[in-house]
């Protein structure tokens, strides 16, 4: 897959001025300027070293006062209250934090996590009826509810009230609830609109703590769990999300939560970072929901018993292992279909198969999209229906495309980059053909992956201290990607593969310097290059520590022969 390299433009004087003013390295100043972070002294201070004083006033959020008043009434009257969450990491952490906070402050709560395989995302009337039958009087949604207009109306008909806390896009009509806290509302005046669902819950417990007269630590102590949900939900790690992530990671490294501590240990990462959460913690929590065991992850975080937490962690690890096995089978079958029928030449890849696991096909769709750089929809054929998930690429709005096919669909939802879809099998071929027609008009074959490069560097320009300075930018995530740099005309001094051909290991040099480089998952390129070839590489800078010696290493993200 061809990738387009795009370099930021620089003003070297500005770079030197910022580096001097804030006493930082020029390479760090370059990145801060590229990302437009250096607007004021306060901006750069908050970005590099955020503190608990950098959170916005929670009462600016729409309906926050209404929600707080209603919850305080429930505490006073000892009402029966249930928290309705979601089966992903954001939903699980949101449920855990709100339940724990309320339980500790005079309001014992129940919880409901819908089953991904049988109930799907969000509120549903069967669950609401069960909740009403159990005598609950108030439902508080977390990470869902903004689109549950009919379900919330039904809850009121059954004698219950609802508070919605969500971060998703609202429909044309806001649900008629006691309070709807969602910064995506049109009437929102809150200064940051991109909190995860657990971030909204954090603001709610912050507001409740203030009205209860609690010490700050009573809500700040949950930042280790809140940061897990925030980083996992792939929201922009800027503004308040960055404060949550930065402070939360520090707390997570010394967490008192048995479940999180056990998860961190079993993942095997040497440090607690956005990387260990994204590739260690999140997959194991999500595996519970994907495999139909959504409550296990919540029980893990709620556990007050170390042995119980260890046992549940082993279960999560096993769920994740099974998820990986199923994922590989589906991926191999999908690739076979694509290659056999030349579907990679299509504008969009739409395929289906019997017995594909509903909870896993979304991950496979994402991998296929990454592999071919084309939009992809995978569906499972079952009982006359085709149910599945889709992923897209920048430049093609997959949700809008589904809207154009709405007459063929039973149900669909999502956003520009990710969707869920449900249709009758008899309409599958028509759906596939119409999606191809829509995608071909958008010329998806002309869309290419763009790699944003901070700066072109020479090997002689970088030092260990420069690389260490870039750590101030962590944690990395959406809208704060790990910085990538370009190195040109490096000669290949050695080249081999690691891990049975999976990874590429090189030694590169210029006239005076030599550097180690590694390219993960690009071992297939080993036969395209020879000793002595001149190459240009784009990668991030790392410090490799071995036998007490620290050396510079380039983690290659793309490579091509020099012109």
Task: Indicate the DSSP class of residue 406.
Answer: G
> According to CATH, what is the number of the domain 3-8+452-561?
2.40.50.460
Compute the distance between CA of residue 137 and CA of residue 162 in angstroms, rounded to an integer: 9
Compute the distance between CA of residue 250 and CA of residue 274 in angstroms, rounded to an integer: 11
Beta carbons within 8 Å of 145's beta carbon, 6+ residues apart: 84, 122, 123, 152, 162, 164, 165, 166, 175, 177, 180
Contact 55, 49 (CB under 8 A): no
pLDDT of residue 119: 83
Contact 102, 68 (CB under 8 A): no
Mean pLDDT, each 10-residue run in order, the chain (563 residues): 86 92 93 86 86 96 98 97 95 97 96 88 92 97 93 97 93 92 95 96 98 97 97 91 96 94 88 89 92 92 96 95 94 95 94 90 92 94 91 91 92 81 94 95 86 95 94 91 96 95 95 94 93 96 89 96 93
pLDDT of residue 76: 96
Contact 376, 434 (CB under 8 A): no
DSSP per residue, 89-153: HHHHHHHHHHHHHHHHTT--EEEE---TTTT-SS--HHHHHHHHHTT--EEEEES--TT-HHHHH
User: Is 3.10.310.30 the CATH number for 341-447?
Assistant: yes
Residue 253 DSSP SS3? coil
Contact 26, 33 (CB under 8 A): no
Q: Kind of pairing, strands 179-181 and 161-165?
A: parallel
Beta carbons within 8 Å of 440's beta carbon, 6+ residues apart: 347
Contact 8, 36 (CB under 8 A): no
pLDDT of residue 413: 76
Measured CA to CA in angstroms, residue 350 lies from 347, 368, 398 at distances of 10, 11, 12
Nearest CA-CA partner of 157 in 125, 113, 180: 125
Task: Indicate the DSSP class of residue 56.
Answer: P
Half-sphere exposure of 383 (CA within 13 A, CB side): 2
Residue 453 DSSP SS3? strand
Compute the distance between CA of residue 47 and CA of residue 250 in angstroms, rounded to an integer: 15
CATH class, range 58-252:
alpha beta
| Domain regions of the chain by residue span | 3-8+452-561, 58-252, 341-447
257: its two tokens = 């939560």
Q: Which single residue is written with the structure tokens 């002689």?
A: 460
Compute the distance between CA of residue 366 and CA of residue 371 in angstroms, rounded to an integer: 9
pTM, rounded to two decimals = 0.89
**CA 382 remoteness from chain centre:** 29
Measured CA to CA in angstroms, residue 22 lies from 28, 259, 538 at distances of 10, 40, 28
Cis peptide before 475 (omega within 30 of 0): yes
């Amino acid at each position: 897959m061809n990738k387009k390299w795009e370099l930021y433009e620089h003003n070297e004087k500005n770079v030197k001025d910022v580096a001097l003013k804030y006493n930082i390295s020029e390479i760090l100043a370059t990145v801060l300027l590229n990302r437009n972070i250096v607007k004021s002294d306060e901006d750069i201070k908050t970005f590099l070293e955020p503190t608990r004083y950098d959170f916005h006033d929670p009462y600016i959020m729409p309906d926050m006062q209404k929600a707080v008043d209603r919850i305080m009434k429930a505490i006073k009257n000892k009402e029966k209250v249930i928290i309705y969450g979601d089966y992903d990491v954001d939903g699980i952490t949101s449920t855990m934090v709100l339940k724990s906070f309320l339980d500790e402050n005079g309001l014992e709560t129940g919880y409901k996590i819908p089953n991904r395989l049988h109930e799907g995302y969000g509120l549903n009337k069967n669950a609401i009826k069960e909740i009403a039958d159990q005598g609950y009087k108030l439902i508080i949604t977390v990470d869902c509810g903004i689109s549950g207009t009919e379900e919330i109306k039904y809850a009121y008909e059954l004698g219950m009230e609802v508070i919605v806390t969500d971060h998703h896009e609202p429909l044309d009509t806001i649900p008629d609830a006691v309070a709807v806290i969602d910064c995506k509302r049109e009437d929102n005046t809150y200064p940051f609109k991109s909190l995860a669902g657990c971030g909204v819950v954090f603001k709610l417990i912050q507001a409740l703590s203030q009205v209860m007269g609690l010490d700050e630590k009573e809500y700040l102590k949950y930042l280790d769990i809140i940061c897990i949900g925030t980083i996992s939900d792939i929201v922009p790690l800027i503004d308040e999300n960055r404060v949550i992530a930065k402070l939360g990671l520090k707390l997570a490294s010394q967490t008192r939560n048995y479940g999180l501590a056990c998860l961190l240990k079993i993942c095997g990462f040497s440090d607690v970072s956005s990387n260990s959460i994204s590739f260690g913690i999140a997959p194991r929590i999500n595996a519970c929901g994907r495999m139909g065991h959504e409550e296990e992850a919540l029980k893990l975080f709620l556990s007050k018993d170390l042995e119980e937490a260890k046992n549940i962690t082993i279960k999560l690890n096993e769920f994740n292992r099974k998820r990986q096995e199923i994922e590989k089978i589906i991926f191999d079958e999908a690739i076979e279909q694509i290659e056999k029928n030349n579907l990679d030449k299509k504008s969009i890849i739409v395929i289906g198969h019997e017995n594909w696991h509903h909870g896993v096909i979304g991950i496979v769709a994402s991998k296929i999209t990454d592999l071919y750089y084309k939009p992809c929809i995978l569906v499972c054929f079952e009982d006359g229906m085709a149910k599945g998930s889709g992923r897209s690429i920048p430049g093609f709005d997959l949700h809008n495309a589904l809207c154009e096919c709405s007459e063929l669909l039973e149900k669909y939802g999502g956003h520009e980059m990710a969707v869920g879809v449900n249709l009758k099998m008899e309409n599958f071929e028509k759906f596939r053909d119409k999606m191809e027609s829509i995608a071909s008009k958008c010329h998806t074959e002309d869309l290419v992956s763009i790699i944003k490069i901070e700066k072109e560097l020479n090997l002689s320009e970088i030092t260990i201290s420069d690389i260490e300075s870039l750590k101030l930018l962590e944690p990395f995530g959406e809208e704060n990607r790990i910085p990538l740099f370009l190195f040109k005309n490096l000669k290949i001094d050695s080249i081999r593969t690691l891990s049975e051909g999976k990874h590429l290991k090189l030694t590169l040099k210029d006239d005076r310097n030599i550097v180690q480089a590694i390219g993960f998952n690009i071992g297939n390129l080993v036969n395209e290059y020879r000793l002595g070839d001149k190459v240009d590489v784009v990668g991030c800078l790392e410090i490799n520590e071995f036998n007490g010696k620290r050396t510079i290493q380039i983690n290659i993200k793309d490579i091509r022969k020099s012109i």
